[in-house]
Amino acid sequence: MNDYSKIIDHPHYRSRKRKPMSMMQRAAQFSPFAALSGYDEAVNETTRVTKSKRLLDDDARNDIDRTLRLALLSHNPVSITYYVPDPSKPGGSYITFTGCIHQVDMLEDVVIMDDGSAILLYNITDVSLQE
């Protein structure tokens, strides 16, 4: 037998200072709770698509070198497409940058643009002169 005999006939307590909450207000108390915190971010990271790096043959590398030299001498803007490895998963993405080349540093294997950004030579996949 349950020992609720002392309280079974008592009226339900209601505060005199506060109004009773609506069902929406009661439910809102629990809405910020996430049992699996970080799950949505993990799913989004897993479904994010990365690309593998294209390997260029010697002819393509020579074309890139020739165009870089020509752009450096002519001071014309260029569009450079290059590969950026993803820091958190295999693969990466391709970015196209348009601007003027300031310097090609063969010691560091980078192309330094007029805005100060540096692009690694071995990540460049395409260069085209802009007129």
Range of the domain at 84: 58-129
Other CB atoms within a 10 A radius of the CB of residue 12 amount to 4
Cα–Cα distance, 106 to 42 (Å, whole number): 40
pLDDT tens track of the chain, all 131 residues? 568 888 888 888 888 999 988 999 888 887 766 677 788 888 888 888 889 988 999 999 999 999 999 998 888 999 999 999 998 888 899 999 999 999 998 899 999 999 999 999 999 999 999 87
CA dihedral 31, 33, 37, 38 (to 10 degrees): 30
Full-model pTM: 0.66
**Is 68 within a domain?**
yes
| 16 occurs within a structural domain | no
Phi-psi region of 19 (alpha: psi -120 to 50; beta: other; left: phi over 0): beta
**104 is a domain residue:** yes
Domain containing residue 83: CATH number: 2.30.30.100
111 within domain boundaries = yes
Distance of CA 15 to the CA centre of its chain: 51
Domain annotation covers residue 50: no
**Residue 81 belongs to a domain:** yes
Q: How many domains, the chain?
A: 1
In a domain, 106, yes or no: yes
